[in-house]
């Protein structure tokens, strides 16, 4: 069967979806829950997962858990099952669906308080204890910390019978509470930052005519995304392997939803900097920005950020600008607030799970704290790498 029902107690049950055809049938109920989330709706909606799975599922297996209270769907847990190496040993790992393109990974809840969310998450771990035991580790990351999301998950894990370890994933820079025009935003920046922005703009204008163009319509996306990738290839970011097929499908889809903001900075009709954001429910999520390195000294990237921020504040009237993944130094120049994305590793009560729990929680931290042991670890790792390379 593609869909299996497991009774947790007299009130709650979990339905397991492991087939893509069954997943396709969930669009309406999935988006019904996605639209109830307090943030990150573009990265939790059905189309995000559909496009992501089309590009990245490959040999992994689908494991979507639908938690019902009676006949009402109250939570979706979008998992994958992976066979891979973890800390040098082959494991069966369960993780929330996503990869480096996912700024967060989480569950979709109906409206409920932190206590109720914690209880529903406990039922999911009960499922993994009673009904789905063939796993070694569950990777729950990166989890948003705001609105009690991470605490609710952590408490649910602590109440389970499984050992666990908390991990740091990355920083997230943002600006919340925007209720003003862009001139106020720029006046709130430091004197040094304002000076740098003016100088970058002046250098660009001395070199030629500067034009900012915003693309929102879905029928223009394919043409302009081709230009985007051409600039990306001329950027230092070309080493990131940006996943053109995934982003082309995603921007086309989000353009149809009126979420896409694809901005270009032209210098004398030549595209010099480009990037896109997704705007939804008063939040602007800044995704990929790139600039032609030939124009780096002119400050093309700085002009792009200035124009994009002006647009989402003055036109879209957003209340929050979110720079998503990472602590790249430039981000703190534009947005002053930082929060963390953390994760939790959950270890099964089997041989591999117990070994990994001891390794992650005790052995590796001991090596990392002691410089002599750390040196031995590095020497061994380098030797193993050379043997594999040979």
HEC string for 185-206: HHHHCCHHHHHHHHHHHHHHHH
Q: Which pLDDT belongs to residue 238?
A: 52
Average pLDDT (14-40) is 96
Q: Is the pLDDT of residue 374 over 60?
A: no
**Residue with the larger pLDDT of the pair 262 and 228:** 262
Contact indicator for 333, 301 with CB cutoff of 8 Å: no
Q: Is the pLDDT of residue 371 over 70?
A: no
pLDDT band at 2 (very low <50, low <70, confident <90, very high): very low
Please state which of the ranges 2-16, 63-77, 187-201, 339-353 shows the lowest mean pLDDT.
2-16
- Cα dist from 335 to 178, 232, 319, 330, whole Å: 11, 24, 13, 9
Q: Which pLDDT belongs to residue 297?
A: 81
Mean of all residue pLDDT scores within the chain: 90
Contact indicator for 94, 353 with CB cutoff of 8 Å: no
Q: Is the pLDDT of residue 378 over 80?
A: no
Average pLDDT (116-120) is 94
Query: pLDDT (tens digit, 9 = 90+) per residue, 273-325?
Result: 999 999 999 999 999 888 888 887 888 999 999 999 999 999 999 999 999 99
Q: Quick one: which of 109, 148, 112 has its CA closest to 29?
A: 109
The DSSP output letter for 359 is I
DSSP 198-235: HHHHHHHHHHS-EEEEEE--HHHHHHHHHHHHHHHHTS
| Residue owning tokens 């020497």 | 379
Q: Within 10 A of 339 (CB to CB), how many other CB atoms are there?
A: 15
**Residue with the larger pLDDT of the pair 364 and 63:** 63
Average pLDDT (183-196) is 95
pLDDT band at 387 (very low <50, low <70, confident <90, very high): very low
All domains of the chain, ordered by start, with CATH? Answer: 3-170+340-349 (3.40.630.30), 178-318 (3.40.630.30)
CA 344 to chain centre: 16
**Residue with the larger pLDDT of the pair 361 and 321:** 321
Q: Quick one: which of 64, 65, 63, 61 has its CA closest to 8?
A: 65
Q: Is the pLDDT of residue 166 over 60?
A: yes
Distance, in Å, from the CA atom of 356 to the CA atom of 93, rounded to the nearest integer, reads 12
Token code pair at residue 48? 């995000």
Average pLDDT (179-205) is 95
pLDDT band at 219 (very low <50, low <70, confident <90, very high): confident
Which residues in the chain belong to E strands, given as ranges?
A: 3-7, 12-17, 61-69, 72-86, 89-96, 108-109, 137-144, 163-176, 210-215, 260-267, 270-280, 283-291, 320-322, 337-347
Average pLDDT (41-67) is 97
User: Which contacts (CB < 8 Å, 24+ apart) does range 16-23 have?
Assistant: 16/63, 16/64, 16/65, 16/66, 16/132, 17/62, 17/63, 17/64, 17/65, 17/66, 18/61, 18/62, 18/63, 18/64, 19/62, 20/53, 20/57, 20/62, 23/49, 23/50, 23/53, 23/62, 23/64
210-215 and 3-7 as β-strands: parallel, antiparallel, unpaired? Answer: unpaired
137-144 and 108-109 as β-strands: parallel, antiparallel, unpaired? Answer: unpaired
Rounded (5°) CA angle 265-270-274: 35
Contact indicator for 129, 137 with CB cutoff of 8 Å: no
Q: Is the pLDDT of residue 140 over 90?
A: yes
Q: Within 10 A of 388 (CB to CB), how many other CB atoms are there?
A: 7
Distance, in Å, from the CA atom of 256 to the CA atom of 252, rounded to the nearest integer, reads 7
């Amino acid at each position: 069967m593609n869909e299996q029902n497991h009774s947790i107690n007299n009130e709650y049950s979990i339905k397991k979806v492991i087939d893509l055809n069954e997943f396709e049938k969930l669009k309406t109920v999935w988006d019904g829950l996605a639209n109830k989330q307090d943030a990150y709706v573009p990265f939790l909606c059905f189309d995000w997962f559909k496009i992501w799975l089309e590009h990245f599922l490959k040999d992994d297996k689908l494991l979507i858990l639908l938690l019902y209270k009676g006949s009402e769907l109250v939570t979706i847990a979008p998992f994958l099952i992976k066979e891979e190496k973890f800390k040098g040993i082959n494991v069966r790992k369960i993780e929330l669906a996503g990869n480096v393109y996912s700024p967060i990974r989480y569950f979709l809840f109906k409206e409920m308080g932190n206590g109720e969310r914690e209880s529903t998450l406990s039922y999911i771990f009960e499922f993994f204890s009673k009904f789905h035991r063939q796993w070694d580790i569950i990777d729950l990351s990166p989890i948003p910390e705001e609105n009690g999301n991470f605490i609710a998950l952590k408490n649910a894990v602590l109440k389970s019978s499984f050992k666990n370890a908390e991990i740091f994933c990355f920083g997230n820079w943002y600006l919340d509470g925007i209720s003003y025009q862009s001139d106020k935003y720029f006046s709130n920046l430091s004197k040094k930052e304002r000076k740098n922005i003016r100088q970058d703009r002046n250098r660009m204008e001395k070199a030629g005519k500067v034009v900012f163009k915003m693309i929102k319509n879905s029928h223009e996306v394919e043409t302009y995304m081709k230009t985007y990738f051409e600039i990306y290839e001329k950027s230092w970011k070309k080493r990131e392997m940006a996943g053109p097929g995934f982003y082309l499908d995603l921007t086309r889809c989000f353009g149809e939803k009126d979420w896409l903001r694809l901005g270009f900075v032209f210098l004398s009709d030549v595209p010099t900097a480009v990037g896109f954001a997704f705007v939804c429910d008063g939040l602007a999520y800044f995704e990929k920005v790139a600039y032609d390195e030939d124009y780096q000294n002119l400050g093309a990237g700085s002009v792009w950020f200035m124009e994009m921020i002006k647009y989402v504040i003055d036109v879209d009237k957003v209340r929050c600008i979110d720079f998503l993944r990472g602590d790249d130094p430039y981000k703190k120049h534009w947005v002053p607030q930082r929060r963390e994305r953390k994760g939790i590793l959950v270890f099964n009560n089997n041989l591999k799970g117990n070994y990994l729990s001891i390794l992650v929680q005790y052995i590796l931290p001991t090596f990392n704290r002691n410089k002599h042991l750390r040196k031995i670890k590095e020497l061994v790792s380098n030797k193993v790498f050379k043997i594999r390379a040979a």
